[in-house]
Amino acid sequence: MEKHAYPQLVRTFQRLSRFSHLSAIAGWDMATMMPPGGSRARGEALAELGVLQHQLLTDKKVGAWIEAAQQEDLSEDERANLREMRRAYDQAALLPESLVEAKSLAGNRCEHAWRSQRKNNDWQGFAPNLKEVVRLSREEAAIRAEAKGCSRYDALLDIYEPGMTGARLDVLFADLKRWLPSLLQEVVDKQASRPCLDPQGPFPTEKQRDLGLHAMGLLGFDFDRGRLDISAHPFCGGVPEDVRITTRYNEDDVLSALFGVIHETGHARYEQNLPPQWAGQPVGHARSMGVHESQSLFFEMQLGRSPAFLQHLLPAIRQRFGDQPAFTLDNFVAWSQRVKPGYIRVDADEVSYPAHVILRYEIERALIDGDIEVEDIPGLWDEKMQQYLGLSTAGNYQNGCMQDIHWTDGGFGYFPSYTLGAMYAAQLFSAARRALPDLDAHLNAGNFSPLFNWLRQNIWQHGSRFTTAELLTMATGEELNSDFFRQHLTARYL
């Protein structure tokens, strides 16, 4: 055994990071630029790269180095890095190489076919591919659950939101389900008495793209280290040094792509401001997907739909789409804050959004735990949409159970992070407001720097040094408290 194990680990994780970089950019290209005929070859190449990373990470030497490094004289930050290394190693070492490869191939096949199948409302064509992804995800969940001594679903949830459990989510979501439906109804009733004007399109894609770039600039996106493109489903990918964000355009609707871009810019700013001294090391990664979603929702909902931000965006909108009656400040704010239960999660307002997440959580947990099968999804989806949002998706797979990309590549356990993120975001914004007494004056003047500096200081610069609970407590003075989310929605909409 080498005398100094920790430096060996640092070198190994640096190599892994470089492979992840290539994988991220190849994945981004697959979703944005690649001709359809390249799908199979790219899927195989990415699976091969995944196997290579798995081999490197699960090498017996890595496990031995982790044990040896525990005894070495390390700084506090190095100890945090070692903790994250152990977590990465333990997560990977559980899975056989064959499963890693099979899951990657099945996910790429399902996701690629989904792009055209969704457009064609083709559930019959989609279901067989999804079944294979579910089969492999259940296999993975069973292996992880046995090792961790928890439920299958909790084992997958832990990948995205370390420390979170289905039992804790059930309590949080039961609380939401207690007060959200009546709040939603109150807001809809209140807004019905004050109708607002719809902007008149069409809104040409090129001008929408230009507007998105303008919004990214207002929000401090670093264009030397990132870019904006088009994909079937909006996402933020790449690496901190080269962040790729995407959106999709609809020429009849200017809000969807715009707020999609603002959402992804929140993810991007987090990535671009992770601690550079820890680049390529696990402690330099974003804390969790819930914390990641808190940043995108902080940008899109807390800041992006606030009158203070919208008033600075409006001149750019008038400049590109004309000065029509819908673009008075009062109307534009009312329109951007309009609450209307709809089919599509990524276009949902922040009041009805949690219903979309709870629905997916309940279905995916039952699916992974083996209580339902793929064939049951459309019926259950329709039933829950009617129950939570008063809408039917019977036969409408495209805008129902086929609308998201997450399940196509086995991202089971991810969806709860969206609503956790909304709760974290409300709590963070409240803390920022307490810490910065003149925040409103800054925002009204178009000076967003104090807010971003607060985020950099309290969230971004820490990477994965602390657990989610520690990070939130340090930033806000307490652990997750869903009351902040309720207070935010009540104050903004009622």
**Cα dihedral angle (251, 253, 257, 260), rounded to 10 degrees?**
-160
Q: Are 113 and 129 in contact (CB under 8 A)?
A: yes
What the block records as the tokens of 201 is 């399109």
Q: Residue count of the chain, please give it.
A: 494
Rg (CA), the chain: 22
State yes or no: 97 annotated in a binding site. Answer: no
- Residue 243 phi/psi, 5-degree rounding, is -85, 125
State yes or no: 214 annotated in a binding site. Answer: no
Would you call 264 a catalytic residue per the annotation? yes
Reduced to 3 states, what is the DSSP secondary structure of residue 406?
helix
Which of 180, 217, 238 is CA-nearest to residue 313?
217
Burial profile 13-26: b = 16 or more Cβ within 10 angstroms, e = fewer: beebbeebbebbee
- Residue 446 phi/psi, 5-degree rounding, is 80, 15
Residue 29, CB half-sphere, CA atoms under 13 Å: how many? 14
Distance CA 143, CA 103 (A): 14
Reduced to 3 states, what is the DSSP secondary structure of residue 352?
coil
The answer for residues whose C-beta is within 8 angstroms of residue 337's C-beta and 6 or more apart is 305, 349, 492, 493
**Cα dihedral angle (472, 477, 481, 482), rounded to 10 degrees?**
-80
State yes or no: 233 annotated in a binding site. Answer: no
Q: Are 452 and 220 in contact (CB under 8 A)?
A: yes
DSSP 482: T
Burial profile 89-122: b = 16 or more Cβ within 10 angstroms, e = fewer: bebbebbeeeebbbbbbbbbbbbbbbbebbeebb
Which of 418, 360, 426 is CA-nearest to residue 389?
360
Reduced to 3 states, what is the DSSP secondary structure of residue 253?
strand
Considering 84, 111, 132, 264, which one is annotated as catalytic? 264
Residue list for the binding site for Zn(2+): 263, 267, 293
What positions carry a catalytic annotation? 264
Residue list for the binding site: 263, 267, 293
